[in-house]
Amino acid sequence: MATITGPIDVSALRARLDRASTAAEQAGVDALLISPGSDLRYLIGAGGDSFERLTCLALPVGGTPTLVVPKLEQPGYAGIPTDELGVEVVTWVDGEDPYALVKAAIKGDRTAVADMMPALHTIKLGNAIGGQQSLAGPIIRELRMRKDASEIDALRKAGQAIDRVHARMGEFLRVGRTEREVAKDIAAAIVEEGHTHADFVIVGSGPNGASPHHRDSDRVVEAGDVVVIDIGGPVAEGYNSDSTRVYVMGEPKHDDVWDTYAVLQAAQKAAVEAVQPGVTCEQIDAVARTVIADAGFGEFFVHRTGHGIGLDVHEEPYIVSGNALPLEAGMAFSVEPGIYLPGRWGARIEDIVVATENGVESFNNRPHELVVL
Amino acid sequence: MATITGPIDVSALRARLDRASTAAEQAGVDALLISPGSDLRYLIGAGGDSFERLTCLALPVGGTPTLVVPKLEQPGYAGIPTDELGVEVVTWVDGEDPYALVKAAIKGDRTAVADMMPALHTIKLGNAIGGQQSLAGPIIRELRMRKDASEIDALRKAGQAIDRVHARMGEFLRVGRTEREVAKDIAAAIVEEGHTHADFVIVGSGPNGASPHHRDSDRVVEAGDVVVIDIGGPVAEGYNSDSTRVYVMGEPKHDDVWDTYAVLQAAQKAAVEAVQPGVTCEQIDAVARTVIADAGFGEFFVHRTGHGIGLDVHEEPYIVSGNALPLEAGMAFSVEPGIYLPGRWGARIEDIVVATENGVESFNNRPHELVVL
């Protein structure tokens, strides 16, 4: 259902609806069609979560925003001041055709659909409306990737909350425990420290740390293991934390840990320090990648340097080769290079940062050194 | 990541891949394009969970099934015996074009995409491949809605697990506790009784029970409240439970509870007893609806009677007006009529049942009476 945990700022939401409509017009589309997800939450304050029954905010250029919603899910939007937002609500019940209701709420047939919209609805809306379908993502991201002050406050709050979890890591991460046991305790701490829930908990010990998106397992943490801890979740406002630190259980069992880790730390630091308005996303990626490649580890850094963050854990802007987007003040993203030595060990250091007028602010401020537990 | 918690039955998966290919050919499409989700888990045993990076199983008619997957997510599929399944794995890294890789893996341009596929990928695949895009759902559901013996075993196991949680409801649901506190305990019990996690916990007390998809809140449960408890989650095999029972905290505070509940109970019982091969989905819906309407509560039964269940909590077949699909042995679904009296109280009774050769088996077997706590 349309979970509303954060405060509703009517004037901010009205401004977003207006800007979205303007951006849609500039992009040459007649209407945005937004399904449940963070785009919907960004625009009306509630994200919804229906799947097979269509919920869709139709945002016609120059027309009335209309929320088409199953009648049985309408109570979930009771906290949304739709009248003040100028949003009309149209309900439907099983057996009715919700796609026709969306068509009736818009003019023209050039639609842009939310990136998250399931094909189930994308294709049925396309059949009902005809015309040209494109993605709303490139339009909405122009709004969403430039955070306003309240969004930056929420991200800062999230960063502080996850820092407090990392500060307590010695309580959870101990030799003899399984990754899964450690992860379970971390998940509880994520909530205790101020998140609404734990969105992800990665505990990658020993060779599991060499798989960048490993989650957890029944592997028992051993003396000498390097352990990657990558954790995060949303705070009440809906904005997410995401921070990675690396721990070692006493003296590392591999000889190359300290020197290799120093390369990674230097790469991450250099990339963060390179952040300022006007620098492009791919330049930030290149800064981290160059440090790592120059030290001979280029082939072991197998992913992009970072991703934007906000209502979604992964959103624009992506800090990746090929993204020539220049940073602007208010863009928030992760800086998280990694080095992964298959079958042996791995490491990744991750901070969420925001470009400011003059440079950069990091929302994560735990020490970046390899932490010996 | 591609969580694999249940056993991998290679011969069953091979048979599913073959049947999917045959069904695609019969539907007149050249290839199925399956993104992460339960369709993917059904076909190869791992469901994945990537979003913005494309993971896609391309299943060309008469060709080699090909899993296009980001290199950094490949380790998540390590438990899948792709060689034995005859599935080729093609990895890609950030900066490469995964849509071109999918195009190269198929012949022809008539594609059917998974219902769950985000528009982000649906539209980009459409642009890369051209031709006609349709939904894979109607093709895959022909396979998925007919459960085999191992799937029925898993659903039965899930039903027994959730019945054990309902049997313990007196431990959790007490006057003076908030719905949220009750829900938290129930979620823990769902795991204790054999689920991998709690997928949903609805605690609808008093007037909140009149909102069919209310989840929980800070409302304190009061003496005399009618409380709707609708709970479920997957067991290790990936198959879900989903069962609703109604409790009352001592003597109900409204005079109409007992008589109205008796109508609901009769409706639910009649609908379950009507299940047998050859009866249509809409007939089952009509049986429940008629009992409720004849008693004068028709306008307060605001949703369909049920939904199929398996790897998804909601899947085909839907037990709804307009669905003329005749039931067959092996089709599993919920029977869950409800009566919702806005601002006062509500009730819903839900069992998961499967049509058998001779009639029906219910996976939920707790008493259907209003339970006084």
Give residue B1's pLDDT band: very low, low, confident or very high (50, 70, 90). very low
B320, two tokens? 């709804």
Interface test with B, best of A133, A302, A309, A340 (most B CBs within 10 A): A302
Residue intervals of chain A classified under CATH 3.40.350.10 are 10-144
Cβ B158 vs Cβ B240: under 8 Å = yes
Please check the confidence at residue A65 and state whether its pLDDT lies above 80: yes
By Cβ distance, the residue of A123, A135, A214 closest to B134 is A123
Using an 8 Å CB-CB cutoff, list chain B residues near A1.
Answer: 213-215
Tell me the angle at which helices B10-26 and B137-144 cross, rounded to the nearest 10 degrees: 140
Q: What is the dihedral of CA B24, B26, B28, B32, to 10 degrees?
A: 0
Residue intervals of chain A classified under CATH 3.90.230.10 are 149-372
B303–chain A nearest CA distance, Å: 7
Residues of A with CB under 8 A from a CB of B: 1, 3, 51-52, 71-73, 75-76, 93-95, 113-120, 122-123, 133-135, 137, 211-215, 302-304, 314, 320-322
Fold of A149-372: Creatine Amidinohydrolase (3.90.230)
Instruction: Indicate the SS3 state at residue B145.
Output: coil
Please check the confidence at residue A82 and state whether its pLDDT lies above 80: yes
A4–chain B nearest CA distance, Å: 11
Using an 8 Å CB-CB cutoff, list chain A residues near B115.
Answer: 52, 118-120
A135–chain B nearest CA distance, Å: 7
Interface test with A, best of B213, B339, B348 (most A CBs within 10 A): B213
**Chain-chain contact of B302 with A93 (C-beta, under 8 angstroms):** yes
Give residue A75's pLDDT band: very low, low, confident or very high (50, 70, 90). confident
Residue of B nearest to A343 (CA): B75
| DSSP secondary structure letters along B28-51 | T-SEEEE-TTHHHHHHHS------
Tens of pLDDT, residue by residue over A224-272, are 999 999 999 999 889 999 999 999 999 999 999 999 999 999 999 999 9
Tens of pLDDT, residue by residue over B19-60, are 999 999 999 999 999 999 999 999 998 888 777 889 999 999
pTM of the model: 0.79
pLDDT at A4: 60
Using an 8 Å CB-CB cutoff, list chain B residues near A117.
Answer: 118-119
B136–chain A nearest CA distance, Å: 9
pLDDT at B2: 53
Using an 8 Å CB-CB cutoff, list chain B residues near A214.
Answer: 1, 75-76
Tens of pLDDT, residue by residue over A113-150, are 999 999 999 999 999 999 999 999 999 999 999 998 88
Cβ B14 vs Cβ B65: under 8 Å = no
**Chain-chain contact of A94 with B303 (C-beta, under 8 angstroms):** yes
Identify each DSSP E strand in A236-369 by its residue range.
Answer: 243-248, 306-308, 315-319, 332-335, 338-341, 345-348, 351-355, 360-362
Closest listed residue to residue A339, CA positions, set A271, A253, A248, A263: A263
Higher pLDDT, A364 or B13: A364
Using an 8 Å CB-CB cutoff, list chain B residues near A348.
Answer: none
Please check the confidence at residue B175 and state whether its pLDDT lies above 50: yes
SS3 for A69-90 is EEHHHHHHHCCCCHHHHCCEEE
**Chain-chain contact of A213 with B76 (C-beta, under 8 angstroms):** yes
Please check the confidence at residue B276 and state whether its pLDDT lies above 90: yes
Residue tagged 């209309």 (tokens): A66
Using an 8 Å CB-CB cutoff, list chain A residues near B339.
Answer: none
A304–chain B nearest CA distance, Å: 6
CB burial readout B64-85, b (16+ within 10 A) else e? ebbbbbbbbbbbbbeebebeeb
By Cβ distance, the residue of A95, A133, A213 closest to B123 is A133
Cβ A217 vs Cβ A227: under 8 Å = no
B354, two tokens? 């499967």
Tens of pLDDT, residue by residue over A262-295, are 999 999 999 999 999 999 999 999 999 999 999 9
**Chain-chain contact of B215 with A1 (C-beta, under 8 angstroms):** yes
Q: Please give the angle made by the CA atoms of B355, B359 and B365, to the nearest 5 degrees.
A: 75
**Chain-chain contact of B119 with A116 (C-beta, under 8 angstroms):** yes
pLDDT at A194: 95
Tens of pLDDT, residue by residue over B47-99, are 887 778 899 999 999 999 999 999 988 888 888 999 999 999 999 998 899 99
B135–chain A nearest CA distance, Å: 7
**Chain-chain contact of B320 with A122 (C-beta, under 8 angstroms):** no
Using an 8 Å CB-CB cutoff, list chain B residues near A122.
Answer: 119, 122-123
Residue of B nearest to A76 (CA): B214
pLDDT at B341: 97
Instruction: Indicate the SS3 state at residue B191.
Output: helix
- End-to-end CA gap in chain A: 42
Q: What is the dihedral of CA A2, A7, A12, A14, to 10 degrees?
A: 40
Amino acid B140 reads: I
Lowest mean pLDDT among B53-57, B93-97, B250-254, B297-301: B93-97
State what percent of residues in chain A have pLDDT above 70.
98
Give residue A1's pLDDT band: very low, low, confident or very high (50, 70, 90). very low
According to DSSP, residue B210 is labeled G
Using an 8 Å CB-CB cutoff, list chain B residues near A314.
Answer: 51-52
CATH of domain A10-144: 3.40.350.10
By Cβ distance, the residue of A52, A71, A117 closest to B118 is A117
Cβ A223 vs Cβ A249: under 8 Å = yes
**Chain-chain contact of B75 with A211 (C-beta, under 8 angstroms):** yes
Residue of B nearest to A73 (CA): B213
Residue of A nearest to B121 (CA): A115
Residues of B with CB under 8 A from a CB of A: 1, 3, 51-52, 71-73, 75-76, 93-95, 113-120, 122-123, 133-135, 137, 211-215, 302-304, 314, 320-322
Residue of A nearest to B201 (CA): A1
Task: Work out the mean pLDDT of chain B and round it to a whole number.
Answer: 94
Task: Work out the mean pLDDT of chain A and round it to a whole number.
Answer: 94
Cβ A226 vs Cβ A206: under 8 Å = yes
**Type and span of the H or E element at B134:** strand B132-135
**Chain-chain contact of A314 with B52 (C-beta, under 8 angstroms):** yes
